[in-house]
Every structure is written in C-alpha cells, then in structure tokens.
Chains A and B, each alone.
Chain A
Amino acid sequence: MTLKEFYAHVGGSYDEALARLMADKLMLKYLFKFEASAGYSSMMAALAGENWEEAFRHAHNFKGLSLNLALGDLGRSGSTLCDSLRSGKPEGDLPAMTAAVAADYEKVIAAIAALRESYPEAAT
C-alpha cells in the first residue's frame, strides 16, 4: 500500500497530509507512532467506566492527533465524539458515535499495518 492509497482508504487526503507533515518520511514516522500515542484504549476504558471528564480529555487528544495526521474519517468521527462529551456528560447517541470511532480506528490501524509492510525501512 502506498501513502496515497493509504489516505484514500481512510477517507483522507494525501495532499493535505503532505502540506501538513511536509515529507513522506515524516508522515510514515508519525503514522507508525499513532497507535502508541492515540490513547484509544484509555479513551474506550473511560467511556465504558462512564468517567466522562477523562473520556473527554482522551477524546480531545485522539481527535487532535487524527486531524493533524489528516486521517479523514477518523478525524471526523473523533471530533463528533469529542464534541458530544464537552459538556461533562454525553449528548446524543453515544453508542453509535463510539461504534463509528471504533470502526474508523480499526480501519486506520489495519491500513497502517499494511503500510509497515510496504515501507519496512521506515517501520524500524
């Protein structure tokens, strides 16, 4: 999978990512660190535990990172989830929003795994 194919696959834009991240090499570097930095499992744990304040903080970081890496669909579903938690308790259909984020996240993680195989020198 090339970077262009990756971005098309996750509903983002390679051109936007390049403008923001400046070089393929840096793009790969950040994408390969995404899973470790995004705090996805902490966010899900906070949501499951109904710890709304902590869930908001994690969702906020998660959204910011997804947007900055130009991860299209995940940036959008992450923003929706984050906004629904802003007031201190969830607003709207939380299970649906959480499911959307989970689906987009799985898609991104799987695609990043594919990228690792295509760019083994960057993955180390």
Chain B
Amino acid sequence: MRDIVLVVDDVALNRTILSDMLKDEYRIVEAADGMAALEAMQRYGDEIAVVLLDLVMPEFDGFSVLEAMVERRLIEHFPVLIITGENSYEAEARCLSLGAADFIKKPFNPALVCHRVRNAASLYTYKFRLEEQVAAQTVQLREQAEALRISNRQLREMNERTIELLSDVIEARNLESGTHVHRVRSYTRILGRRLMETCPEYGLTEETVNIIALASSMHDVGKIMISDAILLKPGKLTEEEFELMKRHTVLGCEVLARTKYIWEADYYEYCRQICRHHHEKWDGRGYPDRLAGDDIPISAQLVSIADVYDALTNERVYKKAYSPEEAYRMILGGECGQFNPKLIGCFVDCHDEFAAQVALAPAPDSSKEALK
C-alpha cells in the first residue's frame, strides 16, 4: 500500500506545515536532511507514495538526493515533488532533468500542493500497475513459449518415430533392406546440402534438408499395399504387373493421408511429395503424373537420384551390383532417365562422398528391390 508522503526539509516548521496539509490523506514520514531521506526510502520502500523534497539543505542537499536516487535507480520508484524557495529556471530545469515529477515554488498554495501530490501518486500507482501487468504477461508469454517449444520438440520426435516405424514395416516385409533406406537417406542429405550451397533459388535450409532426408525413408511406403505376388515375384514383371507396381507411388500417399493427423505440416508435405513423385523424370517420362522439370518437387528430385544410385550400386535379383564409377557413368549418360542438370552438377561434385558411403555399406543383401 503506497500511502506514505516522505517530507524532506531541514526546517522543522516547513515539515509541520506540509504534514498538516497532507496528514488526513496520507501517513507522513519526515526527514530533516538528505541522508535521512535516503534511509527512509530504503526503510519504507513501496509504502512511499510521494517524496516532497526541499532543495537547499546543509551537507546533502536536494540535488544530491536526486542524484543519489538516479544512481540507485530509486527515481523510477518514487515520484519526487520539489518544494523550494528557489525560483531560478536553472534549478527547475536541473531537477526535472534528473527525474523530479514536479517543481513547486514557495510560497505555495496548500490546496494546489495536495492536488499535485494526489496526481503524482495516482500517476505512479497507474505506472506501477502497468509495469506489474507487463511483467506478469512477460512471464506468462515466456512460459507459453517454453511449452510450445517442448510440444514442438515432442511433435518432431513423434514424426521421426513414425518415420522409423513405417521404415521398419517396409523392412519387415523385406521390401527394402534397412540399409537401403539408410543409404538413400545419406545420399539425399549429401546431395541436398550441396544443392542448398550452390542453388539458393530452391530455398533449402539445413533444417529442410534434414527433414527431406528423414522423409526420404518413406519413398516406397506404398509398397506395403502391393500384393506379394507382384512384389516378391522373382522374375521379370509383365507389363500389367508393372502398371500395378507403379501404383505404389499413389498408394504411398494414401497410407500417409490416413496418418495425416499425427504429422507436422512440413514433414507430411515432404513425405507426400517424395512418395508420389520419386519416379518422375526431368523430361516428363516418369510416373505417376508425368511431371517435368521443376514441376517435380525438389525433395522428390533429390530422393530420385539417391534411390537410383543405391539400386545401381547394390545387387538385385535381376542384376549384379555396379561399381560406384559405373553407376556414376550410367547416371551421367542418361541410362537411368533424365535428371535435373543442376542436380547432376551437385552429384558430380559429391560423387566421392557417395562412393565413400558405398564402401561403408555391408555386402549387398538379396533385397528384392528392383530398379524400375
């Protein structure tokens, strides 16, 4: 409760006159010099509504009190009304520039002094209430931001776990080897980072490249919807069977759509683009939508090269594993379809890194994945 008026004056009768004027509305604390005033501020703190300060006092005068209040940041806490016989413009300007709320000259009119005290007190009460509200809201906002950060992280973890889970499902059906999924993820990340550095027009960031790399694991999730008779067929597929096989791109999107509610928007969108479009070709001769050029989402373009490269460098039932150099030559020679020339540029830049990944990988297993 701010209900104290601190009256600072070295002349006892002046303190008495001011006290008599204000004692019906406020508790009065008197200080006979500047040091006593600062001690009273320390002692009564937030109970003080207003300080009435004389200027001309022995030793520690009113200016020194104001300066000490500025230094100790007390001037922000108490409205100081100067009451003085000084009538020079310089004294008034100096007090106001030090932060005094008002400057009252002697002889003063008591009714006006009471009004000014009330005004200063209510103005500061309002100011303090605002500051308290702002402080409370700042705390609340900080807590909300923290809660958001935590739930955001949980959501990301959930997305990552969902991707891992679906990768495991694919692997469990032996549709892809787990190592294929991980290698495609590595190639996608290597290529994505290079593209981010060399082609800013695609707007990639470290974060989006990471999400695309993670989402690449979903590229063949649609194959869980393809019958074993086609999927696990040891020989070459008939044209009709191949048409059914190509549907894994569209079916993958259906699988994702059924779990849409658990995905964060950007994860979902990258997974969807990759599932549907990772078999599109730059010249429009891919599937399912025969998209061409940069109509093919860049995420799907990245995964497409990564997928083809991994299929080439690993053994399949219908083919042997090619060496990294052979795979490199075949991709550049257009034997696996047309790719974005900018991406081919990145692939050329990064091929050493790709080849290092091939060398790291365990011996190719008998995955039934086919280069289609």
Contact = CB atoms under 8 A, between A and B. Distances in A.
Given A57-B56, A60-B85, A67 B107 contact: yes
B165 interface: no
A20 B109 contact: yes
Interface stretch (B5-13, B64-72, B119-127, B195-203): B5-13
A64 B16 contact: no
A63 to B, nearest CB: 6
B10 A20 contact: no
A29 B108 CA distance: 18
Q: Which of B12, B85, B110 has the most CB of A within 10 A?
A: B85
Interface in A30-72: 30, 33-34, 36-39, 54, 57, 60-61, 63-65, 67-68, 70
Q: Which secondary structure dominates chain A's binding surface?
A: helix
Interface residues of B, number: 20
Interface in A7-22: 19-22
B58 A30 contact: no
Interface string B316-343: 0000000000000000000000000000
B107 A37 contact: no
B20 interface: yes
B16 A22 contact: no
B22 to A, nearest CB: 12
A63 B21 CA distance: 21
6 closest cross-chain pairs (CB), A and B: A64-B85, A37-B13, A67-B107, A64-B106, A68-B107, A60-B56
Interface of B: 10-14, 16-17, 20-21, 56-58, 84-86, 106-110
Interface of A: 19-22, 26, 29-30, 33-34, 36-39, 54, 57, 60-61, 63-65, 67-68, 70, 75, 82
Given A61-B14, A65-B11, A65-B14, 14 more contacts: A20-B109, A21-B110, A30-B13, A36-B12, A36-B13, A37-B11, A54-B58, A57-B56, A57-B57, A57-B58, A60-B56, A64-B85, A65-B13, A70-B107
